[in-house]
Chain A
Amino acid sequence: MRVLQYLSQWKSKAKDGIQQSLRIAKFLCLLHVTNNYIVSPVMVYGPSMLPTLNLTGDVLLVEHLSPLLGKVVPGDVVLVKSPDNPRKTVTKRILGMEGDSVTFLTDPSRSDRYRTLKVPKGHVWIQGDNIYASKDSRQLGPIPCGLILGKVLYRVWPPEGLGSL
């Protein structure tokens, strides 16, 4: 009799456990989908986007739907997978879409030489706001649209810089 009682007790406990872990798994899935397809907070730092973004680190709200639908326009600040290291992401501003011709200073700290070229199909031209300390399309060339991860919507930290960009 007692064995049976233990058994039923154990059974209900196991059922509870499974239900609980299933709930957690569902929650994690929801988190993954919102993070990858809707919005996610991202911490960025570095000198390349001064004065728009701070040197020491900003928390940004990044939206992932418009790059998926191809609705990014010149002037947008975007999060991009770095072409020379896929594990790194960088924040830059889009300056030209496919078919646009862009003119840029090749080495602004040393000379006034500039070049003009046409952005090829399926690519965008990205540049940091701080042209003196940014590794961007001027060195790496136009980048494929597939590398764009998201469009920056708002800055949420630091509090005095709160607002859209």
Chain B
Amino acid sequence: MGTVNFLWNLTKNYITFGLIGLTVSDRYASIVPVGGISMSPTFNPHDDSSKRSLTRDFVVVEKLCLEKYKFSLGDVVVFSSPTNHKEKNIKRITALPGDLVSTPHYDAVVIPEGHCWVEGDNQAWSLDSRSFGPIPLGLVRGRVTHIVWPPHRVGKVERMTPKSLTHF
């Protein structure tokens, strides 16, 4: 009888913990690892495939911005990829609705209502809006605010606009 009780309590605790964790990570904030070098040098500046798991950056993603979907130019966001909804990408917003963007492939696109243009900081190694076009803001899953790991890189993620892009 004692063991059954103990097991029951254990599962109950696990479930409660899971529920609370899921709610907090959905509504407020969560911590996720950043894979790949598309956002270097902001994240993963020295990515070595040999020790990738050790040098990977972990970042805080806040979800409160999803209440209003108000983003500013230069925000780093997590969004689910438009070509595969199970995959999450991290990129920087470089244009908002109404802005004009010109790229080598598309010539001067106006961002439609409710969409945004995302690009990686590492322009040479990034699969982003330059290949799949503007993405709906509804795909955005959160805004990256801080780096929390590794210890020597702890700090705020700055909002900035890359100068290589031409805005009109």
Q: Is the interface of A mostly helix, strand, loop or mixed?
A: mixed
Chain B CB within 8 A of A159 CB: no
Chain B CB within 8 A of A138 CB: no
Q: Is the interface of B mostly helix, strand, loop or mixed?
A: mixed
Q: When A26-B16, A26-B20, A84-B113 are in contact, do A70 and B138 touch as well, CB less than 8 Å?
A: no
CB-based contact B138/A83 at 8 Å: yes
Q: Report the Cα distance A87→B46, complex, angstroms.
A: 38
How many contacts between A and B, using CB within 8 angstroms? 75
Chain A residues within 8 Å of B112, by CB: 84
Interface residue total, chain A, C-beta cutoff 8 A:
27
Q: When A25-B20, A86-B114, A86-B138 are in contact, do A32 and B27 touch as well, CB less than 8 Å?
A: yes
Q: Report the Cα distance A87→B23, complex, angstroms.
A: 20
Q: Report the Cα distance A33→B136, complex, angstroms.
A: 25
CB-based contact A86/B137 at 8 Å: yes
Cβ-closest chain A residue relative to B97: A84
Q: Report the Cα distance A70→B153, complex, angstroms.
A: 37
Chain A CB within 8 A of B130 CB: no
Chain A residues within 8 Å of B19, by CB: 26, 29-30, 33
Footprint of A on B, CB under 8 Å?
A: 16, 19-20, 22-23, 26-27, 68-69, 79-86, 112-115, 135-140
